[in-house]
Amino acid sequence: MSIGSSDVCSYGPGGRGARIGYSIVDSLLGRLLVAGTRHGLCFAALGDSDRAIISELRGDYPKASIQRDDALAGKWAQVIAKNLGGGSTIQNLPLDILGTPFQRSVWDQLRAIPRGETRSYTEIARRIGRPRAIRAVGTANGANPVAIVIPCHRALRASGHLGGYRWGLDRKRQLLELEAAHH
């Protein structure tokens, strides 16, 4: 499932016009918050406290109407949590995310990286036809609103070092180890 530049997001910048429901479940990497609209997933986050990840959701979508909605987002949260343990696939989960055409091209490349493998930011830049846009690839990677579903943790520096990760390098390392063990 491509998230190419032709896809339309159902809301505006900052979540303007969106009604977002979220669910929080336990996962192998801590608490997992998954949120979405009736069109698909728009946010996923890992954390140690519900309060912190709810605050992160509200910070990313300050103009949206946000409420807990386990009926909407709960099944997605369970699928993603199960995926962390090597279970179900998440490639076909519906997405409702706002991104530039460049970001979407990077996110498509991230989704093309097989479970248990990694790619460098340099290689991703080459694959999208923008070999000099290595830093921009890193920025697009960091702007990914649905971590794990769009596996930004699979992108590394050219040196092989982990680079950054919104929820810490320990979680990134754990994600990569879990995937290597279950692919």
User: 27-39 pLDDT, tens per residue?
Assistant: 999 999 999 999 9
What CATH number should be reported for the domain whose range is 101-181? 1.10.10.10
Enumerate the CATH 1.10.10.10 domain ranges in the chain, comma separated: 101-181
What's the fold here for domain 13-84? Double Stranded RNA Binding Domain (3.30.160)
Query: Which of 7-11, 44-48, 127-131, 152-156 is predicted with the least confidence, judged by mean pLDDT?
Result: 7-11
Given a cut of 90, is residue 182 above it in pLDDT? no
Identity of the residue numbered 154:
R
Given a cut of 70, is residue 6 above it in pLDDT? no
Asked if 18 contacts 65 with a C-beta cutoff of 8 angstroms, the reply is yes
Enumerate the CATH 3.30.160.70 domain ranges in the chain, comma separated: 13-84
**pLDDT confidence band for 90 (50 / 70 / 90):** confident
DSSP class of residue 88 equals S
Which is higher by pLDDT, 87 or 81? 81
- Pick the closest to residue 94 from 139, 161, 34, 27 (CA basis): 34
Could you give the residue numbers annotated as active site? Answer: 152
Q: For position 181, what pLDDT does the model report?
A: 83
